Structure 1
Amino acid sequence: MNKVITILIAIVFSNFPGKADVKLADVFSDNMVLQRNLHVNVWGSAEPGEKVMLSFNGQKLRAKADKTGEWQVVLEPMKAGGPFIMIIKGKNELVLKNILIGDVWVCSGQSNMQWPVSKSINAEEEIKAANYPSIRLFDVPRSVSNVPVDSIPNAKWKECSPEMIKNFSAVGYYFGRDLQKEIDLPIGLIHTSWGGTCAETWTSRAFITKLPKYEEFGERIDNYDVNTVAQKYEDDLKKALGGFPEKEVGMAEQWMKPDTDRSEWLSMTLPTLWENAGYNRLNGRVWFSFDCSLTELELDSIAQLHLGQIHDSDIIWVNGVKVGGMNWANEVERVYPVPVQLLKTGQNNITVRVEDKYYKGGFASKADKMFFQLGEKKIPLSGDWQFKVDTVIPDFNPFPNDAPSLLYNAMIHPLIPYGIKGVIWYQGESNTPRAKEYALTFPNMINNWRADWQQGDFPFLFVQLANYQQAQKMAKDDAWAELRESQTKTLGVKNTGMAVAIDIGEAHDIHPKNKQDVGHRLMLSALNVAYAKDVVYSGPLFKSMQIDGDKAIISFDHVGSGLLVKSKHGYVNEFEMAGEDKQFHWAQAQIEGNKVIVWSDNVDQPVAVRFAWSRNPSKFNLYNKEGLPASPFRTDDWEGVTDGKSFDD
């Protein structure tokens, strides 16, 4: 009997890896791509003092785990090829299969890098055609940490296939696909991004605290405890709401009906995002109700309900009858026609069901955007509304922008020092409130990654923010324009390249669906910056301005085979001009050779010129003949709307 028990115990324990087992870092797995022409680091863990042997592609390397149980070997540079097998031996043996040698690119940033192939244009066709077995994909799970970590749980390299590409970064995939067509080598794509995040959270503690206004942030980072923060978010919201509803009942109980008992509903002054009203980290469904008094005279008019922007989805009822709704359209102004027969003299009820599953929810516009339009009369709807929470989505995970370094620690540090060719980056939207400072924080982040990777000044290619939101009627300062300027200034950092996307955005969606052109333009930049190919890889960039009387003569770099205006009339749009009074006026412009001549009837003595200086220069039409758009610019250095703004402002 004792012998049987002993055998059973041995069987049970044989199914659990012992402490002495040799392990590889999580970034290594079957199907990976190792960087060609580079000394490649391979590392892992084992029992302290344990001897490890690694065999790969004709190389045999030995290492010994140090006192902390860590070991590392360095493979000599190798030419592209494969597939190969890697064998690691200690007290146990690991075998990794189907390994290729080629070029590895890190794909990082916020939601426009995270945006999947399945949500880009022509998704069905693109997914169906995504059979590229020599393109390999690695997705880093989203995680935060206030200290550097080494693990990447639940992540493996995978071959590119229609099934695997659906939820992978669209920009990353289109970049890698187009690049492989040009260089005909295996491509590895490491995707590590998180929507809504700022550059500071992707920067290490050591580097962020070097910057002005960030010197004291070290203590803030050190004291940030993920579990404590998450519990506090949950406790605070429960206290503010008096508990969480157990299940959704609003639709079933028909809370949209005017005679609904709202005596126990809470009150909120609209418009506001509910996080700003004290309900932080509330994700779910919230109902709002407002009673509006109308006279008989007003009922003869055509009626429209204006509620401004709502984050993110809504359903609207007037006197219990549905009049409209939108799904995930947080940048669209809600304007709904209301049949006059629904209205009555006296009190009329407006009920709005808002659904938000991520970040901040509620009513995002200013008070003048909320009104009932009856003919020429506007009845204000801003003020105190009743509200009731119908559903709480229990997601209280810390948000990466709570403190700098949280994503660097959890989603970049574990990748280092895996051999890479370079980085592509699509981010900046979340830094627009402090756009001027981005000219410091972004290059600082690039230098941070390069210093920690210890692979020299590897190529770092980024996307300039796309056009977005409604076009402006009057020339004025703009935070998005200032952010694009900071991105352009970052081209002064060695081995960087920028893909301009000012012509492929969407006014009502911060996530343009055309990710193919973004990926392709990044690829063109890579051909020059990373592969030293003589190609036209950039659209026109501002070079200099010369004043000639009442005209400004603008010269450009990167004109390619010549400037091109996409207009049957031949005029270049989106130019502004100012004199010494610093008041900008829309200007006329036309191409002469490889220069643009700019003038305005309102400016006799020009001092400064701006081009495409707005969130959405919707009439943009200046390119080079290779089809690449000119980058927005200004010739002045006058104070902007984000000067002096920093992390906590």
Structure 2
Amino acid sequence: MDKTHGSEKSASQLVLPRLVSNGMVLQRAATVRIWGWAAAGEPVTVNFIGEQYKTRAGDDGSWEVFLKDLEAGGPYDMEIKASDTIVVKDILVGEVWVGSGQSNIELMMERVKDQYPDDIINCSYPKIRHFSVSQRYDFNKPYSDLSDGCWEAACPETIRRFSAVGYFFAKTIHEKYNVPVGFIKAAIGGSPIESWISEEALASHPEAVRTLLPYKDDEYVKKVLTIDEKITDSWLGSLNKNDAGLTAGEPWYAENIDTSDWPVMELPANFENEGLKNFSGVIWFRKEIEVPEEMLDKPVRLWLGRIVDGDKTYVNGQFVGEITYQYPPRKYDIPQGLLRKGKNLITVRVMCNNGSGEFISDKTYKLIAPDCSVDLTGQWKYKVGAICGPQPETTFVHWQPTGLHNGMLAPLTKYTVKGAIWYQGEANTPRPQEYYGLMRTLVEDWRKKWNQDSFPFIIVQLPNYGVRDKCPSESQWAELREAQMDSLCMPDTAVTVNIDLGEWNDLHPLRKKDVGERIALAARKTAYGEELVASGPVYRDMEVIGNKIAISFSNTGSGLKSRDGAVLRHFAIEGKAGGFVWANAKIEGHRVIVWNEGITEPVAVRYAWADNPEAANLVNMEGLPAAPFRTDRPDK
């Protein structure tokens, strides 16, 4: 056993938790706990930066000491002595933040390497450190330590593993204050907020408690996992067994099969619009392309946008890559020498799980090499390989209430941090009315667990996503954004508005640098006390003036403006007769005047109230977007 890590405890060994390890960053100007395990009653001495701290292990072998008011700097070594001696090396003192939530904070720099190539190549920040918490869950007890993980410094060899949001946030803070920054990522894609809250805190949410109860039975969990595995294996096995593209003679990814009777589809396309309504099964696509000579003997990548749901992709009959679910972009490196001058064949086996197959539009479909590319949109031949029923739903056990709190968050709470960044909400959009209560519970729970009442908490509001609305409509995404804004009533919280940073066709938008920098801006004000404009306009109140409504805001900064210089868009107004219609809007001083000539007695206004209010363009002079709002809240 590695003696610096406490995933296993020995009565005769000095053991440290995973976080207390080489390369760690300790929080400056705070009381910092160093802890571990040794033999019961054993004296323990910690030597650090010329100071000595002494304690004795308790009956259970646990011990801790507290370092106070450390100044930013390093690297330092820490010597810890009991019956054994451990030296923890390369320690920095600076700012430490924990980032948690769903996939958009979990998403790594690898995913955005094409968006920010210079940030990958030129990354040399030895004083920015990252710790990634591995997935683990438990429904009965909080863990005292992590199963694995280590601190990594930011450099070209490691940066692709960093949280993209976390890295750009840390880089901004590091450059602003010239101090080391540590970022601890504890996030899992698809996780609802309930999974990150402790069991005792969830007591005020009876529905979550009812959901949790059966999962406290380990045998029940094993049974669910076994059934889910069998269901998935059976469905996939049947799909493969019945796929004519794999079983009827030569496979359909082979180069020389006869495709003269295959129909043609213009890609990208939604399969339902091509006569394949509610289709679940396998469709094979083939396209013959001309590869120019200048593309040969160069690094080439195949970009296939996004595909719903899974794919296996071949070039000239050779497998080049696969992704099993719909969200990641398809970017496959072509082995050198596989392409040839002239005609080449691309074959894509698409698995449609639930009747909504698609090559997503407004994405890149190209064969790309330095200085040249081949467009892949247009006509592809296709043929159905297998038809089956939709893939049966399975239970995502690790998403159930309190599981991720116990497995991933609880082991962090002895480690002193400056604050938390929370990027989550997509999983809770079907139940937005519950979100504010759960958000308050989570914030209060975490502050209690860390024993830091003034724990700054920065919430990343959901960006725009989904099909653009042609007329004003209701929106669960908008309601959840509203609930996130409500969190501002709690002390030491901030919300960053990102309504201009999303992508209509991607749940994981790529502009993570903007997100990270906006979080850093909020932190500069909320956590570090700078006097600056850290937010865009936030709705304050309204006044009916004849057939118009005047909207007043806080956080107008140096004034209001249209982001693109065009007329204000995505305002809607409602009259006494009911029903919202699009409205005119103009800036007058620090207010926005909203009207529609057909509404004589207006009663309410909404702004950017949609899943994807892409056209919304109200900002302050500092360029920060106005938060979506409605004046007709039923609970106000």
The alignment's TM-score, normalised by the length of structure 2, stands at 0.77
Kindly provide the CA deviation profile for residues 151-193 of structure 1, in whole angstroms up to 9, marking residues without a partner as x.
2122111111111111211000000101111111111111111
Q: Aligned letter for 2:605?
A: V
- State the partner residue of 1:181: 175
Partners of 1:117 and 1:589 in 2: how far apart?
39
Pairing 1:226-265 to 2, within 5 Å after superposition: 226-238=221-233, 250-251=245-246, 253=249
Residue in structure 2 matched with residue 593 of structure 1 by the alignment: 589
2:87 is aligned to 95
The corresponding residue for 1:167 is 161
Q: Deviations over 1:281-301 (max 9, x none)?
A: xxxxx5269xxxxxxxxxxxx
- Counterpart mapping for 1:140-151 below 5 A: 140-146=133-139, 147-151=141-145
Cα pair 2:327 2:508 within 8 Å, conserved: no
| Cα distance change of structure 1 residues 520 and 497 upon mapping to structure 2, 3 Å threshold | same
Q: CA deviation at 1:541?
A: 0.4
Q: Which residue of 1 aligns with 2:371?
A: none
The alpha-carbon deviation at position 245 of structure 1 amounts to 6.1
| C-alpha distance in structure 1 between counterparts of 2:233 and 2:622, whole Å | 57
Q: Does residue 1:400 correspond to 2:393, yes or no?
A: no
Partner residue in 2 for 1:534: 531
In structure 2, the partner of 1:636 is 632
The Cα of 1:92 is off from its aligned counterpart by 0.8
Q: Which residue of 1 aligns with 2:19?
A: 27
Q: Which residue number corresponds to residue 501 of structure 2?
A: 504
Assess, with a 3 A threshold, how the Cα gap between structure 1 residues 422 and 241 changes in structure 2: closer, same or farther: closer
* Aligned mate of 1:354, from 350, 353, 357: 350
Per the alignment, residue 132 of structure 1 pairs with 125
Write the distance in 2 (CA, Å) between the matches of 1:441 and 1:272.
36
Letter of the 1:116 partner, please give it. M
Indicate conservation of the 8 Å contact 2:541/2:552, yes or no.
yes
Measure how far apart 1:63 and its partner are: 2.1
Of 620, 632, 641, which residue of structure 1 is paired with 2:616? 620
Q: How do 1:62-461 residues align onto structure 2 when only pairs under 5 Å count?
A: 62-120=54-112, 122-146=115-139, 147-217=141-211, 219-224=213-218, 226-238=221-233, 250-251=245-246, 253=249, 286-287=281-282, 311-313=308-310, 330=326, 353-355=349-351, 361-364=353-356, 386-387=387-388, 399-401=397-399, 403-461=400-458
Measured after TM superposition, the shift of residue 234 of structure 1 is: 1.9
Q: Give the alignment partner of residue 29 of structure 2, picking from 12, 37, 48.
A: 37
Contact 1:144-1:409 at 8 Å conserved across structures = yes
Q: Is the 8 A contact 2:309 2:357 kept in 1?
A: no
Tell me which amino acid in the other structure corresponds to 1:235. K
Q: CA deviation at 1:99?
A: 0.5
CA gap 1:215/1:386 in 2 versus in 1, 3 angstroms: closer
RMSD across aligned positions (CA): 3.6
Q: Distance in 2 between matches of 1:412 and 1:246?
A: 42
Q: Which residue in the other structure is 2:369 paired with?
A: none
In the alignment, which residue of structure 2 is the partner of 1:341?
Answer: none
Structure 2 counterpart SS, 1:467: coil
Paired with 2:560 and 2:218, the residues of 1 have a C-alpha distance of 52
**How high is the sequence identity, in percent, across the aligned residues?**
36
Q: Structure 1 397/102 Cα, relative in aligned 2: closer, same or farther at 3 Å?
A: farther
Q: Does 1:514 align with 2:515?
A: no
- Opposite residue 149 of structure 1, the aligned amino acid is Y
Aligned partners of 1:57 and 1:51: how far apart in 2? 20
- Cα deviation digits, residues 371-401 of structure 1 (max 9, x gap): xxxxxxxxxxxxxx83399xx9xxx995422
Matched AA of 2:20: F
Contact 1:311–1:328 (CA under 8 A) maintained in structure 2: no
Which of 459, 462, 474 aligns to 1:462? It is: 459
Contact 2:560 2:621 in 1 (8 A): yes
**Deviation of residue 566 (structure 1)?**
2.8
Shift of the 47–247 alpha-carbon distance from structure 1 to 2, 3 Å rule, reads: farther
Q: Is 1:490–2:482 an aligned residue pair?
A: no
Shift, 1:62, TM fit: 1.9
| Structure ID, larger Rg | 1
Q: CA, structure 1 residues 75+619, in 2 after alignment: closer, same or farther (shift >3 Å)?
A: same
CA shift in 2, pair 1:487/1:457, >3 Å: same
What's the CA shift for 1:469? 1.4
Residue aligned with 1:430, SS:
helix
Structure 2, gaps ≥5 residues long: 1-7, 253-257, 262-275, 285-305, 314-321, 329-346, 359-385
Q: Tell me if structure 2 keeps the 8 A contact 1:505–1:512.
A: yes
> Match of 1:137, SS?
strand
Q: 3-state DSSP class of the match of 1:180?
A: helix
SS class of match (1:233): helix
> How big is each residue's C-alpha offset from its partner over 1:80-129, in whole Å with a ceiling of 9 and x where there is no partner?
11111111111111000110111100011111101111222533211112
Change (3 A) 1:572 1:240: closer
Would you say the 8 A contact 1:288–1:388 is kept in 2? no
In structure 1, what residue type is equivalent to 2:39?
A: E
Shift in Å at residue 18 of structure 1? 6.1
**Distance between the aligned counterparts of 2:494 and 2:279, measured in 1?**
37
Q: Which residue of 1 aligns with 2:5?
A: none
Structure 1 unaligned regions, length at least 5 = 1-15, 261-269, 275-285, 290-308, 317-325, 333-350, 367-384, 641-649
Report if the CA contact (8 A) 1:238-1:244 is conserved.
Answer: no
Give me the whole-angstrom Cα distance separating, in 2, the residues matched to 1:214 and 1:235: 27
The one-letter code of the counterpart of 1:598 is: V
TM-score of the superposed pair, with normalisation by structure 1: 0.76
2: CA distance, partners of 1:534 / 1:247? 65
Matched with 2:41 is: 49
Q: Which amino acid aligns with 1:563?
A: L
After the TM superposition, which of the residue ranges 426-435 and 18-27 deviates more from structure 2? 18-27
- How far is 1:589 from its partner? 0.2
The answer to whether the Cα contact below 8 Å between 1:466 and 1:504 also exists between their aligned partners in 2 is yes
CA distance in 1, matches of 2:212, 2:591: 49
Contact 1:460-1:496 at 8 Å conserved across structures: yes
Number of residues of Structure 1 aligned to a counterpart in Structure 2: 537
